[in-house]
Amino acid sequence: MPSKKKTTEKERLGQIVAEARQRRQELEKTYREKALKLFPPICGRCGREFAGKKLRELTVHHKDHNHDNNPPDGSNWELLCIYCHDNEHSRDTVAEAYEGATTGQSRASDFSNKPFAALEELLKRKK
């Protein structure tokens, strides 16, 4: 039988999580409504237009990925459909996986075999 203290701690944690979720939903509602007033209901990536019930598929993307950065002029927001929004965040995940490697180059640790390491010496001997 669980102790009363553990039940109380679980209830307190549940209450904290519920309050945090409620605050986040209220904040999202506020900046989403502002963004929908500032921008036309069109996805900033694919150009799809939204109206009526489909408007719920249009999300607010924070350009700097900081959900607390909500300037009143909307300069940190762009409206994206749920598909483009997911794609945007997936690209960040992939980029983080390849962090350190630049485009067109592989990381040095990827290859241990160096087939041409002694080529210069071999060419000198042939002369």
- Give the tens place of pLDDT for each residue, 42-66: 999 999 999 999 999 999 999 998 9
Q: pTM for this structure? A: 0.55
Let me know if residue 80 belongs to a domain.
Answer: yes
- Whose tokens are 């483009």? That residue is 84
Let me know if residue 18 belongs to a domain.
Answer: no
- CATH number reported for the structural domain that contains residue 52 in this entry: 3.40.1800
Q: Is the pLDDT of residue 18 over 80?
A: yes
Let me know if residue 117 belongs to a domain.
Answer: no
Of 6, 1, 81, residue with least CA distance to 39:
81
- 78 lies in which domain range? 28-101
Task: List, in order, residues 6 or more apart from 51 with CB less than 8 Å away.
Answer: 41
Let me know if residue 32 belongs to a domain.
Answer: yes
Number of domains in the chain: 1
